[in-house]
Structure 1
Amino acid sequence: MRIMGRRRALVGVLAGSLLLAGCNAGPGQVGAAVIIDGASVPVDRVQQMIDKAVREHPYGQQLAKEHKLDLVGREIVRQEILHKLTERAARREGIRVDESLVMAALQKDPLATPMEAKQQDAPETSVEQLVARVRDHREALIDAALQSQLGLKYLDKLSVTFDFSSVSSTDATGGDADKLREQAIEKARRFAASPNAAAELIAQDQQTSDTQAGAGQKLPAMQSPATAATVLFGIQPNTVAAFQPSPQQPLWVVVVMRERTADKPVASDQATQPSAQQLAKVGVRLLQPYLDQVDLKVNPRYGVWDVVEMNLAANEASKKGIVLPVHGAAPQQR
């Protein structure tokens, strides 16, 4: 199935996707916010960008009043990490952005408009937009276009086969939400105990009426572009992941990946046309395997990397899930 014209898709991304879309540091990390393959981003640079966000954008000023500038710092570090991963992926995949499209986008520069104090988008999306505006605009636009091009290249080829079980509740607030997370992570650890552990536990769960579970589930990315942006499509075979598909639903899913293919188009009679924003998010998820190829050190003042969200979490307890290798089974490569 033809997803969309490449040039049309990239023009859309360049023109608007971004509008949508300290302590305990080791000797080598003193003064660095993050170190990626030996290249460091200084804490001072991150602070300068935070200052710019407050100085030039009413939304940044609002975040300062709400004492939420830590969100901006974490997003700056996140985008620096994704920038390096995107460059690596682009080199390996042989993808690039047409320079004429970059110049055309910069002439209209969708990132030039200051962000108002009140935003309609979710806070994480608004903070992402804010940081894109305080970065080098050319770099930010190219990153977004390359990520979308990566998503475009693989969306119709990517397919996963997995076994799964679930942990659910009628209430997802307060302590019950924390309990669900703990139960899901504990189940993931049990799945990862041995190559046969997950199959045995899922067989038991299938006999329980209040637990959703199944084996050999196959899902092409084209069937659900939104799901293709989740950790389900980022993990390799013989890997377990526990995550919450939707924060609004009191349901966690624990999966063990059996097969992940991305070498040829996958036939699907339920293909869904992706939006430019979904395409970009799929591209970011496709950067996940590259994390194993870089030496990444994040200054604890900015949090810890959360592979489930492809984002920084404030601390280990704030991570949105867990990814584990199956003990005794070597992960396969894509």
Structure 2
Amino acid sequence: MRIMGRPRALVAVVAGAFLLAGCGSGPSQVNTAAIVDGQRTTIDQVQNLLDRAVQEQPYARQLAAKHKLDLVGREIVRQQVLHAVLAKAAKKEGVAADQGAITEALQHDPLAGPVPASVSQDETAGVTQLVWRLRDHREAVTDQYLEQALAVKTLPTLSVNFDYTSIGAPTSESQAPTVDAKTARSEAFAKAEEYAKNPNAIRAELQAGAQGNVGQQAPALSSPEDAATVLFGVPANTAIAFQPNPSSAPTWWVAAVVRQRTTDKQVATDQVQQPTSGQLSAIGVRMLQPYLGEVQYKINPRYGVWDSVGMNLAPSSAELAGVVAPVHGGAPAQQ
């Protein structure tokens, strides 16, 4: 986890940046994949998109050969949910897309060709870009623009204060931790649930020698990478468990209580990092988390369950990327 960065000036890179971008129970209707704010998508419609992807996109054929087209189906449903949430968030935040810039971008449509090989090296990014190409391109590009514009607006005023403990963290000697990934996950989930019941338990654990800190202040400007995590998306008085770097440190989990989340005043910090285009998009998606409750959605279990920590669909409730739980007796602050 990085919460301090090299001093740099934040640059508003949203204009044209999209060109560089490398819940409830299942619906009752038969053949329904998802219902989002009354808009129904059928399983047949998702399958038709999958068939089209395999026909048009070499990357989809690679996924099909590996029996991974389920990733594409989940991403189709995920982007439908995010599109609906984004529309409401952008309206409330006063963020609008520059349609002139989008029209100009579409004259050399960045989504017209196959998924670039460089992007497909990252499976998550590759699947995301694949589904962009299956959607209406103006809508997909507009969503990317709005996500990044939302991030640019929010970054200068976003800050969180939290207490945390680490489980299975990399050691100072860079040695592999003794705890295995399954045990670390189980411990992190248990700690988050414990902190939700007793948020002061963290301090007792730290006094007993646990790794972590109390009263950690983290401006989003100081680490755009961290700003895309669940730590910056939940309200005050929320217990969480998540992996800061799941790919490079699979046993490292953080269990925390977010004490304060501030979005209404300029953050004073001399530790500023310029976010990349990809980081802006990820932060923009994270900034949608507070607005998820404003969209009515039901997802067929065959496509998974909504995962607030991952802002994604998990294959099942047993495979969630973490925990988000309100602190018992704590009134969440307005975000």
Relative to the length of structure 2, the TM-score reads 0.90
Match of 2:38 in 1: 38
Cα shift at 1:118:
8.2
**Which of 189, 209, 223 matches 2:193?**
189
> Deviations 1:216-235 (Å, cap 9, x if unpaired)?
11100000001000000000
In the aligned structure 2, how far is the partner of 1:192 from the partner of 1:25? 27
**How many matched pairs?**
319
The one-letter amino acid paired with 1:179 is: T
Match of 1:236 in 2: 235
In the aligned structure 1, how far is the partner of 2:142 from the partner of 2:116? 24
> After the TM superposition, which residues 10-29 of structure 1 pair with which residues of structure 2 at under 5 Å, given as runs?
10-13=15-18, 15-17=19-21, 20=22, 25-27=26-28, 29=29
In the aligned structure 2, how far is the partner of 1:2 from the partner of 1:33? 44
Higher relative contact order (CA 8 A, sep 6+): 2
**Which of 184, 196, 199 matches 1:180?**
184
> Deviations 1:98-131 (Å, cap 9, x if unpaired)?
1110111111111111236786531111111111
The one-letter amino acid paired with 1:3 is: L
SS of the aligned residue for 2:199 comes to: helix
Identity rate, percent = 47
Q: Does the aligned pair in 2 maintain the 1:165–1:202 contact within 8 Å?
A: yes
Relative to the length of structure 1, the TM-score reads 0.90
Distance 1:56 1:26, change over 3 A: closer
Cα shift at 1:176:
2.2
**Which of 14, 33, 37 matches 1:9?**
14
Match of 2:323 in 1: 322
Q: Does the aligned pair in 2 maintain the 1:184–1:252 contact within 8 Å?
A: yes
In the aligned structure 2, how far is the partner of 1:255 from the partner of 1:119? 33
SS of the aligned residue for 1:214 comes to: strand
Match of 1:268 in 2: 269
Q: Does the aligned pair in 1 maintain the 2:27–2:35 contact within 8 Å?
A: no
Which 5+ residue runs of structure 2 have no aligned equivalent? 1-7, 170-174
Distance 1:172 1:138, change over 3 A: farther
The one-letter amino acid paired with 1:9 is: V
Which 5+ residue runs of structure 1 have no aligned equivalent? none
In the aligned structure 1, how far is the partner of 2:14 from the partner of 2:102? 13
Q: Does the aligned pair in 2 maintain the 1:60–1:117 contact within 8 Å?
A: no
Cα shift at 1:37:
2.3
Cα shift at 1:189:
0.7
1:53 pairs with 2:58: no
Cα shift at 1:171:
5.2
In the aligned structure 1, how far is the partner of 2:143 from the partner of 2:119? 24
SS of the aligned residue for 2:15 comes to: helix
> After the TM superposition, which residues 68-83 of structure 1 pair with which residues of structure 2 at under 5 Å, given as runs?
68-83=68-83
Cα shift at 1:35:
1.3
Q: Does the aligned pair in 2 maintain the 1:58–1:116 contact within 8 Å?
A: no
> Deviations 1:119-175 (Å, cap 9, x if unpaired)?
6531111111111111111110000000000000010110001111121166579x9
Q: Does the aligned pair in 2 maintain the 1:171–1:177 contact within 8 Å?
A: no
Match of 1:311 in 2: 312
SS of the aligned residue for 1:198 comes to: coil
Distance 1:93 1:116, change over 3 A: closer
SS of the aligned residue for 2:157 comes to: coil
